[in-house]
Structure formats: C-alpha cells, structure tokens
Structure 1
Amino acid sequence: MLKLVLIIGLNLLLNAHLDSAYQLMCYFNNWAQYQSDVQGIKPDDIDPCLCTHLIYSFAGIWKNNITMTKKKALDDYKDFNNLKKRNNHLKTLLSLGCWNFGAAPFVTMVTTPESRQSFVTSVIKFLRKYGFDGLNLFWQYPGCHGSPPRDKHLFTVLIQEIRKAFEEEVSKNKKPRLLVTAAVDGAISTIKSGHEVPQLSQSLDYIQVMTYDLHGAWEGYTGENSPLYKSPTETGIKAFHNIKYIMDNWKSKGAAPEKLIVGFPAYGHTFILSDSSKTGIGAPSNRGGHPGPYTKKTGLWAYYEICTFLNNGATQVWNAAQQVPYAYHGNEWVGYDNIKSFHIKAQWLKNNSFGGAMIWAIDMDDFTGSFCGQGIFPLTSTLKKALKVHSASK
C-alpha cells in the first residue's frame, strides 16, 4: 500500500513538473505612450508574474547595428527590466523588426559576413547594456515581399551566427546565455520561400508562430482572426488558415514541437457588413470596421474595445466549428478571441505537446480591468492558469 501511495505521489509530482514546463511569452508594444490623447499601459503597469517571458517591441536597425526607435525607449527599457526585481523567474527579450519595418534594413544587414558580424556584435552589447535576456527577431518575410530568394538561407546563417556568438560570449563573461527567438509567419508560401525549418529549429530557443491575422477586411467577407480549426465552408488555400493546420505544418517541416509557441491575439479584426441582414462567417463586407477609440486603427479593435462593443448590445455568437466567437451590431462585425477560446486553445496546445503560448499583445488585454468586468489582464491570466505558469517573487 505504501509503495502504491509513493508511486501515485511521484506521478503527481512528475505531472505537475510537466504541466509547468510551458512558456507564456507576452509582447509589449509601446505605441500608446507616444499618442498624447491615449492613456496607455506603461511597463510599471504590467504584472511581472503573469508571463514567463516579456518581449519589448520594437527595436530597429541602423547601419547594420541594432538601435532604439524612440527616444523614450531608454526609460522604457529601465522600467521594463526592473520588473525582474519583482519576479526572479521572468526573462525579458527585445524584439527587432515588425511588419511595418520593411525588408530593406534586414536585406542589407544579412548580405555579407562583415555586416552580419557588425550586427551581432552590436546586439550583444545592446542587450547587456540595457539588461535584456535575449533577442526576438521579427523579420516576417525573408526571401519574399521585397527580400531576394537568397535571404532564405542567409536568415538561417544569421540565426546560426547569433547563436554561436551568444554561446561564445557566455564562455568569456560567465553570464547566463542570451536567448535567441524568432517570430514567424504561418502561411505555407512564406514558410516555403523564407525558412529552412530544421536548421532554424536547431539554433533557435523558441519559434513564435503568428497564428492570427488569418482573416480580415482585405478579403471582402467576414472571417475569424485566429480560428483553431477550419470552417466547414472553406476550401482550397483558405482551408489552411487555421491554427491546427499552421502548427502541424511547422512541425511536419522539421520544427521541434517543444520549441513551437502558438500565437494568441488580444485583439480582433472588424468589418463593415455590405448587408446587415447577413451576419455569419463569409458574409459580404465592403471595408474594415471603424477605428477603436484607443487603438485608432481601421479594421482592428483591442480586446478591451471589443468588450465595450459587446456591452453596448452586440449579438454574440459562438462559432463551434472553429472554437472562437464573433459578434455583430448593425453593420459592424468583429471576429475575436475571449476567455473561453483562449482556454480551449491552451488545452489544445498542451494536448499536442507544443512549447507554449505567446500573446500579441499584453497591452491590448484589459489591463485596467475596467472594460470587460473580468478582472485585470483577463486573457493573459487565462493562459497563465491553463498552462500552469509558475512565478516567484523576490
């Protein structure tokens, strides 16, 4: 009997250990601080115990060296990395690039061994100077969209050189090795043209897969931002625009599942319906929805802006086939995620042995708790609970 109790106890401990092995990586975008009429989240407002990794967005490249993009970034860096004083398990990364950054600085930088060496040297110096624990590369389209085909291989070479330099730096100063991760696209064409998957998986610590922006107003009809599964009505290439297919595709191409991080959006895509009587998935749309009062972007609302829409009488629908909700009111329509869909997706990634979740972005969650009536950071908190992320304060 005692032996049985010991075995059960050991199994419970083992399961607890395995459950806590998931990563929760949270992007922080500092855009709101530079808009005078928006009171946005600041680094000090972030709960440092919510995530395993916080990723500051974004840095840039100037003359093949990493550089800050805003003058106020210095204060942000200090406040951002001071969060580690309140959680000794927290890791901070600096993200470089983004979709608005353009390909040109990356294309120039990777062209020669000398320019890459200059970049890598500057990265190590920059990260150590400002207290970051690693780099997140956000070059979304190497080998396409303005980047020549050769950049597919040069992107791999760059990652390999960064990893080697990070390892060599450790042997010199005895500090913990800097992490290197990459945010990657989910489209089949992008993977084919831009990524040597097995080699990237070997050198990267984590691969953050952007499993969102899968449908939007650019298509001319309504669709979910980040569906777990395909819609029964989707055929052809549209049937690939779902989390399950994208993550399985990355895995089948040679990425280690434990390094693959599933993307979770704290925002939704909005549409103006062409006919307000047609409100389902695939309903005709003539443009993106009206800008939200805070994010001020056509066709996109942060989660807290969506909550305002829901609280003002919108009809909410659970899309059972794709395991995400959508809502409409008049001629406005939004496909989004909520606590229920985040929980379902988190259980799915655990069942499929992926490495964890990343959220874009923590500043789009209800960080004040005053919009959704679900507490502070409700979406991020849902992931923390589902993935059993542990934290320790000093």
Structure 2
Amino acid sequence: MDTMLIVYTCRYRYIAHDNGYRRVCYYTNWAQYRHAPAKFVPANVDPTLCTHIIFAFAKLNGNHLAPFEWNDESTATAKGMYERINDLKQQNPSLKTLLAVGGWKMGSAPFTSMVATDASRREFATSTVQFLKKNGFDGLDIDWEYPAHRGSPAQDKDHFTQLLKVLHETFASEGLMLTAAVSCGKSTIDTAYDVPGISQYLDGINLMAYDLHGAGFETKTGHTAPLKSHPSETGTDKQLNVEYAVNYWLQKGAPAEKLNVGMPLYGISFTLANANNNGMFAPDKGNGGKAGTYTQQAGILAYYEVCDMLKNGGTRHWVNEMEIPYVVKGDQWVGYDDPESLKHKVDFIKSKGIGGIMVWSIDLDDFTGSCGEGKYPLLHAIKDELMAGQTQQ
C-alpha cells in the first residue's frame, strides 16, 4: 500500500505525505546572495525533505503578480530560479511547489489596493492562474502581513476573505492549490481574519508560529518560538507560545487538518545589558544580537551560525517548562530550535491532529553539514519524528 495519502479539501487536491503529514518548506530567493558556503540556490535543496516548497517572494504590480528578483524568470540565455526550483520535481515527482506573494517588507498597501473591488480581485485571480501556469507552479501562497494592520483599513478583513473566495473559485478548475501564511498573535488573529471564512477557501493555513519575541520590540531576552508558556509569565505574555497559538486557531474554527504549524530554522538574538545576567527574560540592550557572518542581519542567526557559536565557547541551556534551548556567549544570547526542541513540537502537533508543519526557511538549516550532525539536521529531525510510530507499507 502506498503511504501517500490524498487529502481532499475544498474542490481540489492538497497532497500530503508521511501518512498524512505535510512538510512545507519556504525557499527564499535572496539566499542566493549570501557568501559561500552559505550561498543557497535550488540545487542545494534536498527535495525529499519537503512535500511542498513555497518560493518566497513575488510582488504585486497593480492587480498582477510580478517577479521580485532579476533572475526569477528564465530568459533565452539563462534558466531562472522559478524554473530551477520546479526542476526539483524531476528528483521527487510528488513534490508540489507554490509561489508566495507578499512578505513583511512588502507590507499591506499593495494588497489593500488589489482587494478593493470585486473587479480588481478577479483580475488578480485570472492573471495569477496564467502566471503560475507559465512558470510551472502548483499553487499560490498569500503572505499578507496583515489584513487590517500596518495601514490596512478594517474592511480589509472582509476583503481578504473575498479575495480567497475568488481565488478558490478560479483555481479549482485549474487544479491549483491555495494557501496563506497567517499570524499567531491573538490580537492580530482577532482583527485580521474571519477564521471560519478563510478556512473554507484555503487548502493550507501556514501558521507563522515564530518571531514571538525579539530585541526590536522587547527589553528582555525571549525565545523566537517557545512551545509552552513559562510559569513566571503573566497577562498577554502567556499567549506568546506555539501551544497557545495553535489552540487559539482551532478554537476560532480552523480545521486541524488544514493547519501547517511553523517551525523556525534560525534563532533570534539579543545583546545582554549585563553579560552576568544571562538567563531567560534577562534585560537586553534593545538593539538585537550581532549580525551573523553569513546572514548579515542583526537579531537573527541561521542554525549553522548558532552551531558556530556553540563550537566557539557558547553554552547551551535548556528550559524545561518551555521545551526549548538557548545559547549564551559573552553578551550574546540566542533563543533557537534544535533537533530536541523540534521533536517536542512535532509530538505536540501530532497530538492535536494537525495536518503538517511548515519551516522558515530551508536555507537556514545546516544544509552543508558544518554542525557535524549531517546535512539538514533540523529537517531530518522533523521528518523522522513525524514518521515515528508509523509503519511504512
């Protein structure tokens, strides 16, 4: 018996593997600009580790999708990144690819304009079908961060639902999938989404269950994606964990089988106010940790950069109550996920009947094996735990 299951949602197929669990991997088209050995292109992807790859990001040009990078689309003389990512299906014929539009940097304004009228929504839907088909994608991922936020008016909550309705109706006859990346913050969920409404039109709901803490908006250290709250947390801080976010989406009416719970393949870093006060919730300077050698962004480190920190004097600590690690080196503090914490998260989503996991992003795992744990240790840990207790037939 083939272990691949076909999950019917809406009026077309959303394909799942590993006895029903999806492994959705975001691929970022700017990872190509990192210096070697961190430079990441489609050839670096192991297509057996993901059931779905979401290419991030395309942008909006009025009511039409448009490529973001100069080499996303193929030319007469060079194969583009879209084509190169879709070529991975030759190695894994069951792999599905989607194109994501949006992201944090694009913001809300282009979406607000596009969703304003029924006519503009339909123009986007019909032109998107053509764009996806031309470039070999199996679907679209809407990454609007967020409806009714960041300058987006309150009516965009309804406009977002209407957009998904039109996309669903347009995609159905074309066999295209439709997913969305959504917030895990309670206040954003309440004001941005009609959860039962959007759930009926989406094949997958990618819950961004990370970036729950960060130096840019807090004055103390915190983990990017704690599984559970800490007993010392009070008020809204008790909501800033994966367990709460998943339970709240379920409570609001999201079908468990459509959720893909996000897991970070990176750490959020802080610069401690006092290197001798370095525990969980220790005061920080508010400007993020030092930029990584390769990712070059203050406040964030790829998993392979966390490994370098551990190899060069960093000390790993484990927080039992939250089921996550952090590392300290001098005045640098990083909350991250490793194989141990990811296995706890996988066990949690299995206990809730969740349909799958999502990772941000595949290029931040240790794809070269520099940590000494083999290539892609985080994705392998996730896949292995999803399959644990299952019998292949």
TM-score after normalising by structure 1? 0.91
Listed as ranges, the matches of 1:368-387 within 5 Å are: 368-370=368-370, 372-387=371-386
Aligned-pair CA distance for 1:37 = 7.4
1:208 to 187, 206, 226: 206
Q: Which residue does the alignment assign to 1:76?
A: 81
Q: Which residue does the alignment assign to 2:152?
A: 147
Q: Secondary structure of 2:326's partner?
A: strand
Structure 1 runs not aligned, ≥5 long: 1-8, 171-176
Bigger RCO (CA 8 Å, 6+ sep): 1
Alpha-carbon distance in structure 1 between the residues aligned to 2:124 and 2:36 = 36
Contact 2:29 2:69 (8 Å CA) reproduced: no
Listed as ranges, the matches of 1:249-264 within 5 Å are: 249-264=248-263
Amino acid at match of 1:351: S
Q: List, as ranges, runs of 4+ consecutive aligned residues in structure 1 with deviation greater than 3 Å.
A: 34-39
Q: Which moved more, 1:380-389 or 1:304-313?
A: 380-389
Q: Does 1:189 align with 2:187?
A: yes
Aligned-pair CA distance for 1:147 = 0.3
* Cα separation, partners in 2 of 1:159 and 1:341, compared to 1, 3 Å: same
Amino acid at match of 1:58: F
Aligned-pair CA distance for 1:34 = 3.3
Q: Does 1:321 align with 2:326?
A: no
Alpha-carbon distance in structure 2 between the residues aligned to 1:360 and 1:22 = 17
Q: Secondary structure of 1:284's partner?
A: coil
Alpha-carbon distance in structure 2 between the residues aligned to 1:314 and 1:334 = 10
Aligned-pair CA distance for 1:383 = 1.1
Aligned-pair CA distance for 1:20 = 1.4
Q: Which residue does the alignment assign to 1:97?
A: 102
Q: Which residue does the alignment assign to 2:76?
A: none
Listed as ranges, the matches of 1:34-183 within 5 Å are: 34-35=33-34, 39-74=38-73, 75-168=80-173, 170=174, 177-183=175-181
Q: Which residue does the alignment assign to 2:9?
A: none
Amino acid at match of 2:238: A
Q: Secondary structure of 1:203's partner?
A: coil
Aligned-pair CA distance for 1:19 = 5.8
* Cα separation, partners in 2 of 1:305 and 1:94, compared to 1, 3 Å: same
Aligned-pair CA distance for 1:343 = 0.8
**RMSD over equivalenced CA pairs, Å:** 1.8
Q: Secondary structure of 2:60's partner?
A: strand
Aligned-pair CA distance for 1:261 = 0.9
Alpha-carbon distance in structure 2 between the residues aligned to 1:191 and 1:299 = 25
Amino acid at match of 2:191: S
Q: Which residue does the alignment assign to 2:272?
A: 273
Aligned-pair CA distance for 1:117 = 1.2
Contact 1:110 1:158 (8 Å CA) reproduced: yes
Amino acid at match of 1:376: K
* Cα separation, partners in 2 of 1:184 and 1:221, compared to 1, 3 Å: same
Alpha-carbon distance in structure 1 between the residues aligned to 2:154 and 2:275 = 44
* Cα separation, partners in 2 of 1:56 and 1:382, compared to 1, 3 Å: same
* Cα separation, partners in 2 of 1:38 and 1:118, compared to 1, 3 Å: farther
Alpha-carbon distance in structure 1 between the residues aligned to 2:146 and 2:252 = 17
Amino acid at match of 1:203: Y
Alpha-carbon distance in structure 2 between the residues aligned to 1:28 and 1:144 = 25
Q: Which moved more, 1:33-42 or 1:140-149?
A: 33-42
Max Rg structure: 1
Q: Which residue does the alignment assign to 2:242?
A: 243
Amino acid at match of 1:48: P
* Cα separation, partners in 2 of 1:386 and 1:38, compared to 1, 3 Å: closer
Q: Secondary structure of 2:122's partner?
A: helix
Q: Secondary structure of 2:149's partner?
A: coil
TM-score after normalising by structure 2? 0.91
Kindly, what percent of the aligned residue pairs are identical? 44
* Cα separation, partners in 2 of 1:167 and 1:155, compared to 1, 3 Å: same
* Cα separation, partners in 2 of 1:113 and 1:18, compared to 1, 3 Å: closer
Give per-residue Cα distances to partners, 1:120-175, cap 9 Å, x unaligned.
1111001100100000000021012210000000000000100000113x3xxxxx
Alpha-carbon distance in structure 2 between the residues aligned to 1:223 and 1:36 = 29
Contact 1:53 1:90 (8 Å CA) reproduced: yes
Alpha-carbon distance in structure 1 between the residues aligned to 2:275 and 2:327 = 12
Alpha-carbon distance in structure 2 between the residues aligned to 1:222 and 1:363 = 25
Alpha-carbon distance in structure 1 between the residues aligned to 2:232 and 2:145 = 29
Alpha-carbon distance in structure 1 between the residues aligned to 2:18 and 2:228 = 24
Aligned-pair CA distance for 1:32 = 2.5
Q: Secondary structure of 2:200's partner?
A: helix
Listed as ranges, the matches of 1:20-35 within 5 Å are: 20-35=19-34
Q: Which residue does the alignment assign to 2:347?
A: 347
Contact 1:32 1:38 (8 Å CA) reproduced: no
Structure 2 runs not aligned, ≥5 long: 6-15, 74-79
Alpha-carbon distance in structure 1 between the residues aligned to 2:17 and 2:116 = 42
Amino acid at match of 1:124: V
Contact 2:34 2:294 (8 Å CA) reproduced: no
Contact 2:17 2:51 (8 Å CA) reproduced: no
Give per-residue Cα distances to partners, 1:263-320, cap 9 Å, x unaligned.
1000011011111111111100002110001110001101000000011011110111
Which structure has the highest helix share of the two? 1
Q: Secondary structure of 2:57's partner?
A: strand
